[in-house]
Amino acid sequence: MVSIDFGHLSNPGRSGQAGASHLINAYTEKVEDGTGKSQAVVYCAPGLTRWDSGSFAGACRGLLTVTGNGLFAVLGNQFVQYTTPDNFTVWGAIPGSDPVQMAYNMHNPPQIGIVTTQGGQYYVFDIASQTLTNWAAPNDGLGNNPATFNTSFPAPNSICFLDRYFLFGVANGQIWQSNLDDAATVQPAAFGYASTRPDGLVRVVAHRGALVQLGTRGLEIWEDVGTVPFAFSPIRAAIEIGCSAAMSVGQTSEELLWVDDKRIVRQMQGSQPTRISNHGMERALEELTADQLSRVRGAVYWFEGHQFYSLTSDLWTWEYDITTQLWHERRSLNSARWIANYSAQTADSLAVFGNENDGRLFYIDGNSYTDTDNFFIMSAVGQMVHKFPNRLLCDCIDVDCVRGQGTVLGVPHTDNPQLMLDWSDDGGKSWQGGLTASMGTVGDTQLWVHFHKIGMIEKAGRLFRFSASSPVLRGIMNVDAAIRPIR
């Protein structure tokens, strides 16, 4: 028997004949030496379970958890506060369909600043007075500014909070700041310019105590130096790495991640951006039009010690496991991408997601193997099996997988989960085989998953694909094949 690779990451080659490795709705968990059967196990990705009880039309446009005040969401046109999953209040409307960015300050109680990323509108929700106010720039023609607000404040495209200030990015390269803990006041001269390059400003981000300004062709890092009326000054500038998608930005406590201007995914720890995308991921980004690229969105969530950066476009969803530094893909049923979009971590550490179809909210659930309503297919395609220029004869394949996970007897698709095997001899253009084998009914852990009658593998080689769709725990530890070369 020969051990064969069954797919531990997504990184397809430029031509499928050179390689077409895909890991879909699954992730790899590395095993410490001497503690398991293999060095790595592929597990099915966690599913989504309904979190809320609300009913709203339109996609989720943004989420924010405010300490002590629950989860805030823009769902369709509604601005909603959830104090618990079953207790919510609609505080007003935020028209449009573009994504929003939200931040909150240290006012007591906090104020929430909301920027519509394409419409250039600035809203403030005051938790004390429970009022949502649109403080649009006057040159937008809305004339809706309170007297205390700076009438020269231009339309922002991003917002963050740092050192008790709201900071706003503007497409022309300006960065504005609010007064300390005061969302309602922006002084007329309280701004600076990202000045090292004549490019536009895409987004401002507070990261590890500094202000990161992402432009179309470069980035700058600023810090609070206490100057008046604008407190921030650059400490590192002229980093020749820009940003092509404002909403692709994701953050953990240590990392800042985004899609740069060359369609490469970057991760920054400290002040050094490094490439983390592989060539397969970069080819997926290259396939996007400029308009599609601008809509790429990023989200971060945690699951059982893994930190995932989820990146979704109109055409696909790829995820980077920051813990293992491996990429995989996610797809909802009958879709090329994952239904989930923007994320927030609740006070009880749940990773809550919105979705692109309606106002329902979900949480990442390790005990769920569905996207709330639908099962999804876990699929792994490994390295090309070949012995060029010889042919191979494959007599059988044995799979060491998680067995005995069937649930309710008599319920189709769950009582006797199946592992499916098919293969491609043309680099993934077409598939054949369609073999199935039981992974065991409930408690049947002694069953061995065995496939036979695999047949001849020609000189060009063969890709094997292992798939399972039953909503139970799915995992693959080893794959062994009886293979012999022939002329």
Order of strands, edge to edge, in the sheet holding 47-50?
47-50, 362-365, 351-355, 340-345
Residues 165, 256, single domain; the answer is yes
In a domain? residue 273: yes
Last residue of some domain: 335, 365, 395?
Answer: 365
Which of 47, 11, 8, 45 is closest to 30 using CA atoms? Answer: 8
In a domain? residue 373: no
**Burial readout 310-348 (b: 16 or more C-beta within 10 A, e: otherwise):** bbbbeebbbbbbbbbebbbbbbbeeeebbbbbbbbbbee
Rounded Cα distance, 394 and 70, in Å: 57
Residues 157, 203, single domain; the answer is yes
Strand partners, 343: 353
* Spacing of C-alpha 252 from chain mean position: 12
Q: Structurally, how many domains does the chain consist of? A: 2
List Cα–Cα distances, 86 to 52, 70, 436, in angstroms.
Answer: 6, 12, 42
pTM for this prediction: 0.93
pLDDT in tens, the chain (487 residues): 788 888 899 999 988 888 889 999 999 999 877 666 778 899 999 999 999 988 899 999 999 999 999 999 999 999 999 999 999 999 999 999 999 999 999 999 999 999 999 888 999 999 999 999 998 654 444 445 554 566 678 889 999 999 999 999 999 999 999 999 999 888 889 999 987 677 889 999 999 999 999 999 999 999 999 999 999 999 877 799 999 999 999 999 899 999 999 999 999 987 889 999 999 999 999 999 999 999 999 999 999 999 999 999 999 999 999 999 999 999 999 999 999 999 999 989 999 999 988 999 999 999 999 998 889 999 999 999 998 888 999 999 999 988 777 776 666 667 788 899 999 999 999 999 999 999 888 877 777 899 998 999 999 999 999 999 988 888 899 999 999 988 7
Nearest 5°: CA angle at 42, between 38 and 46?
Answer: 145
User: Would you call the peptide bond into 229 cis, given omega within 30 degrees of 0 as the criterion?
Assistant: yes
Residues 71, 114, single domain; the answer is yes
In a domain? residue 305: yes
Name residue, tokens 């983390």: 276
Q: What is the pLDDT at residue 408?
A: 63
In a domain? residue 371: no
Q: What is the pLDDT at residue 149?
A: 63
HSE-CB at 467 with a 13 A cutoff on CA atoms is 18
List Cα–Cα distances, 414 to 254, 282, 417, in angstroms.
Answer: 40, 37, 6
Q: What is the pLDDT at residue 236?
A: 79
Q: What is the pLDDT at residue 276?
A: 98
In a domain? residue 370: no
In a domain? residue 397: yes
Residues 215, 240, single domain; the answer is yes
Residues 346, 245, single domain; the answer is yes
CATH number of residue 416's parent domain: 2.60.120.260
Query: CB under 8 Å to 147, separation ≥6 — which residues?
Result: none
Residues 109, 221, single domain; the answer is yes
* Spacing of C-alpha 106 from chain mean position: 28
Strand partners, 363: 49, 352
Residues 161, 228, single domain; the answer is yes
Do 138 and 145 meet the contact criterion of CB atoms below 8 Å apart?
Answer: yes
Residues 154, 287, single domain; the answer is yes
Residues 78, 18, single domain; the answer is no
CATH number of residue 67's parent domain: 2.130.10.10
In a domain? residue 400: yes
State the distance between the two ends of the chain, measured CA to CA, in whole angstroms. 19
HSE-CB at 428 with a 13 A cutoff on CA atoms is 17
Tell me which residue range forms the domain holding 406. Answer: 2-46+378-486
Which pair of structure tokens corresponds to residue 320? 């980077």
Rounded Cα distance, 136 and 120, in Å: 8
In a domain? residue 445: yes
β pairing state of 100-104 and 131-134: unpaired
Which of 29, 27, 22 is closest to 44 using CA atoms? Answer: 27
Residues 6, 66, single domain; the answer is no
Do 145 and 73 meet the contact criterion of CB atoms below 8 Å apart?
Answer: no
Residues 359, 226, single domain; the answer is yes
Last residue of some domain: 312, 333, 365?
Answer: 365
Which of 31, 80, 19 is closest to 54 using CA atoms? Answer: 80
Residues 405, 290, single domain; the answer is no
Contacts 24+ apart (CB under 8 A), 316-321: 316/284, 318/10, 318/281, 318/284, 319/27, 319/45, 320/257, 320/265, 320/276, 320/277, 321/27, 321/28
Last residue of some domain: 336, 365, 394?
Answer: 365
Rounded Cα distance, 347 and 263, in Å: 34
Rounded Cα distance, 478 and 40, in Å: 9
List Cα–Cα distances, 236 to 103, 213, 223, in angstroms.
Answer: 24, 11, 9
